[in-house]
Amino acid sequence: NSPRVLVLVPTRELARQIQTHFMAVGSYTRLTVEVITGGENRGHQISRLRRNPDLLIATPGRLVEHLEIGEAELDELQYLVLDEADRMLDMGFAEQVLAILGHCRRERQSLLFSATLQQRGLDDLAAHLLRQPRTLIMDVVRAPHPDIRHQLLLSDAFEHKRQQLHWLLCNEPADKTLVFVNKRERAEQLGNWLIGQQQRCAVLHGELDQPERKRVMRLFRDGRVSVLIATDLAARGLDVPGVQRVVNFDVPRAGEDYLHRSGRTGRAGEQGTAVTLVAAPEWNRMQGIQRYLHLDIQQRVIDEWPAHFSGAPRRSKSRKRQQGAMVKSKLAKQAQAKPKDRLRDRKNIGKRRKPSSRPGIESGFEPPKRRN
């Protein structure tokens, strides 16, 4: 029951995408493909594994379960592929991946794909997976996408962001808008509010079961909903054609996350727009992302919903210079301060005191007297 090729991916959606592309590319071959992911019936998956597919696409957690009960074998594996390895580490799949390596045939070709080589733990994983590896860099990670226009909107709070987003959806309509948030609760809250505003909206996050996730993605792909609110984890690897706009309702946690989000638009030569709503607590993080990615961001204002927050003022001096100036000022004040004139400091200066010890008795110690 060993496949010839194993592709490990972090999410179910990415596994389905790879299956779709493989079936298109290999439509004139006799190669077979199966997908094993979490959230599906194990009995049905066992039946698919027993078909002995040539290519197996799997998420690490569910594949480990089948390996432990002996329903999957990898002793005849020829090719092992880790796609989006950096995201697998973020999701805590390192132990499962190492467990899978222990079941794989030693004589094989291994390939590791990652959006960044700076991910913590990636070197250790590559050391276990690869032997004498060659590194191929297809593109500079921080290179700005030429087909994406980046915009920034200053905001005051969650309610203010909601109104700004609603204004964009009503006054600058797009066939497909992908809205990113940082937490599942925020996705549900924002989605319910937009539905109340008569927006054709759906929500995608990691807590949805597989049938519901498929239904949501089908609605978005078919255009029956024009707005999809998603978390980073759920939207990782999404490949939906025709996404005209990405809205970062919450500022991403890191520059790589910004790249992954904005990369959902501007595909296949089409033009796209990435709009980021920035509140005061998010300003410094957004500035760091902008510097890290060398982004040329257009700052715009919605006249109907302007923000009181105008952006942090630029500092004329760096933090180190400010600290240095404070230290110098403190030292100067100490130098100018007059010494205290105290009586105890002036008392008996220069006068020699008489010895207090008596002959035959050590200074500072007097032995006890004997009683007669």
Domains of the chain, residue spans: 5-129, 148-300
Q: Cα(264)–Cα(258) distance, rounded to whole angstroms?
A: 10
| Structure confidence at residue 319 (pLDDT) | 57
Answer yes or no: are the C-beta atoms of 59 and 14 closer than 8 Å: no
Residues 6+ apart with CB under 8 A from 362: none
CATH superfamily of 148-300: P-loop containing nucleotide triphosphate hydrolases (3.40.50.300)
Cα R_g (the chain), whole angstroms: 33
Q: Cα(55)–Cα(33) distance, rounded to whole angstroms?
A: 5
| Structure confidence at residue 371 (pLDDT) | 64
| Structure confidence at residue 142 (pLDDT) | 61
Q: Cα(19)–Cα(237) distance, rounded to whole angstroms?
A: 13
| Structure confidence at residue 355 (pLDDT) | 57
**The model's pTM:** 0.64
| Structure confidence at residue 282 (pLDDT) | 94
Tokens standing for 246? 């990405």
CATH number for the domain running over 5-129: 3.40.50.300
| Structure confidence at residue 63 (pLDDT) | 95
Residue-level pLDDT, tens digit, the chain, 372 residues: 689 999 999 988 889 889 999 999 988 899 999 999 988 888 999 999 999 999 999 999 999 999 999 999 999 999 999 998 888 887 888 899 999 999 998 899 999 988 777 667 788 888 888 888 888 877 655 666 788 999 999 999 899 999 999 999 999 989 999 999 999 999 999 999 999 999 999 999 878 887 888 899 899 999 999 999 999 876 666 778 889 999 999 999 988 889 888 988 988 778 899 999 999 999 999 999 999 888 889 999 999 999 998 887 555 455 556 666 676 677 677 666 666 666 666 665 555 555 555 555 444 555 666 665
